[in-house]
Amino acid sequence: MSDTDSRGGAERIIEAAIDLFGRHGVHGTSLRSVAQQAGVSQALVVHHFGSKDGLLRACDHHVASVTRANKERTVAGGPQLDPFQTLRQLEKSQPLLRYLARALTEGGERTRELVDEFVADAHDYMRLAEEAGFVKPSATPHERTIVLVIWSMGALAMHSHVKRLLGVDFLADDAPPESLGPYLRPMLELFTQGLMQEGAFDQMTEMFEVPESISEREA
């Protein structure tokens, strides 16, 4: 396939960049190495993305878009969805996970924008999940969504400790979906059964309730 195939070239460039940025980091990856792995000229990389920063932003958007699409497909599957469907998608997305883990630990303005995009997308699929009856309504839907995104991203950013303590390697190329069990089982237990006994948190919950008079003034 030649450089003149602009759509195919751009897609191959993003795929190669995600793999290399995830493995070697931003500073350890050059536009030349991305072009070589994608099988295109460096001039074509510059033509599509302008600079390394432009390529990074395109990669960020692609990773966020793929994650959003996977979540929406899972929710659309309904109550009878395949319980390993998301895990199989995850198994095929190791380069994206490596890229995201790098982005979260390298920090900076780009990382803030990426996290904000994940939060915005999460609001949409959490709403869909609530409408589908998978997720309970929340008195603080915005804050709940942010906490869930931070939890999931935090686990990925600390993937080396997850591997050390649970034996679960999020970034392994050859690990079957079932190998995530030591991490996913307790997570699903927390999500479906909760942690505290009924009534144990009532007093603390009342501490954070917004008085009705304040709610009415803000409305």
> pLDDT tens digits for 3-47?
444 457 899 999 999 999 999 998 999 999 999 999 999 999 999
Q: Which tokens belong to 153?
A: 């991203």
Q: Is 73 contained in some domain?
A: yes
Residue 159, domain CATH: 1.10.357.10
Q: Is 80 exceeded by the pLDDT of residue 55?
A: yes
Q: Report yes or no on 56 lying in a domain.
A: no
Instruction: Characterize 88-100 residue by residue with b for buried, 16 or more Cβ atoms within 10 angstroms of its Cβ, and e for exposed.
Output: ebbbebbbbbbbb
The CB-side HSE value for 90 (13 A sphere, CA atoms) comes to: 20
Query: What value does the mean pLDDT of the chain take?
Result: 82
Contact (CB, 8 A) for 73 and 132? no
Instruction: Provide the b/e sequence for 109-119 (b: ≥16 CB within 10 Å).
Output: ebbeebbebbb
Q: What is the DSSP letter of 158?
A: T
50 assigned to some structural domain: no
First-last CA distance in the chain: 58
- 112-140 per-position pLDDT tens digit: 888 998 899 889 888 888 888 888 999 89
Ranges 17-31, 62-76, 108-122, 200-214, most confident: 17-31
Domain span holding position 177: 61-211
| Domain count for the chain | 1
User: pLDDT at residue 2 above 50?
Assistant: no
* Average pLDDT, integer, range 166-179: 85
Q: What's the pLDDT band for 87 if we cut at 50, 70, 90?
A: low
Residue at 13 is within a domain: no
Phi-psi region of 167 (alpha: psi -120 to 50; beta: other; left: phi over 0): left
State residue 162's pLDDT score. Answer: 94
**166: closest CA among 179, 148, 178?**
179
Does some domain include residue 26? no
176 is a domain residue: yes
Q: Is residue 159 part of a domain?
A: yes
> Do the domain assignments include residue 97?
yes
